[in-house]
Structure 1
Amino acid sequence: MQIYFSPEVIAPTFQVLNVVDSSNKAVGNVAFLFEEKKLFVYGILEEEGVGEDFKDLVSPYLKGLAKAKQGLEIYSCLYVGCKKIDLKEKEK
């Protein structure tokens, strides 16, 4: 299943994005909160079978946001189903 971001709210200090499938059905969401030199990310996806797709969607988005502020610290808490996923595993 292909998944995509669909913006719900985008403001200077935060973003809330829905995660939707190819039929535009919401399957999860991701929130980004900007605080000085920190970026807090919280996301949950209902479908367990698309965990890698979720990582592949979130990782480059975070890298793009990190380019906006030099030295940005990123704190993330992402879940697929009831399982926590680690974005740093893929970078190793």
Structure 2
Amino acid sequence: MQIYFSPEFFKEDAQVLNIVDDKNKAVGYMAFLTEGQKMYVYGQLQEEGVFEDFKDLVKPYLAGLSKVKPELEVYSYLTVGGKKVEIDLENES
């Protein structure tokens, strides 16, 4: 199953993205909130079978946001089917 971001809400300091499948059915969400020098990222995807696809979708997005505002500390809690997803942005070149 292919998954994609579908913007739901966007402000300078907050975003909510639906995660949809190739049939445009919502299968999860991500939310980004910034406060001062911190960015909080929360997300949940219900399908365990797309664990790696979720990581592949999220990692470049977070890396891009981190490049836009490099002074931000990023705190994230992402899950797929109830299992925590670790995203390592430190190894980005």
- TM-score interval w.r.t. the shorter chain? over 0.9
Q: Is 1:4 matched with 2:43?
A: no
- 1:13 is displaced (CA, Å) by 1.0
Cα deviation, residue 37, structure 1: 1.4
Quote the Cα distance in structure 1 between the aligned partners of 2:61 and 2:75: 14
| Deviations 1:8-64, CA, capped at 9 Å, x for gaps | 000111000000000000000000001121110000000000011001111100111
Distance in structure 1 (CA, Å) of the matches to 2:57 and 2:87:
11
How does the TM-score come out when normalised to structure 2?
A: 0.92
Structure 1 residue ranges (4+ consecutive) displaced by more than 3 angstroms after TM superposition: none
Quote the Cα distance in structure 1 between the aligned partners of 2:31 and 2:48: 19
Structure 2 residues without counterparts, runs of 5 or longer: none
Q: AA paired with 2:60?
A: P
User: Where does the alignment leave 5 or more consecutive residues of structure 1 unmatched?
Assistant: none
- Percent of matched pairs sharing the same residue: 60
1:63 corresponds to which residue?
A: 63
Tell me the equivalent position of 2:82.
Answer: 82
TM-score by length of 1: 0.92
Map 1:1-92 → 2, pairs under 5 A:
1-88=1-88, 91=91
- TM-superposed CA distance for 1:78, in Å, is 0.3
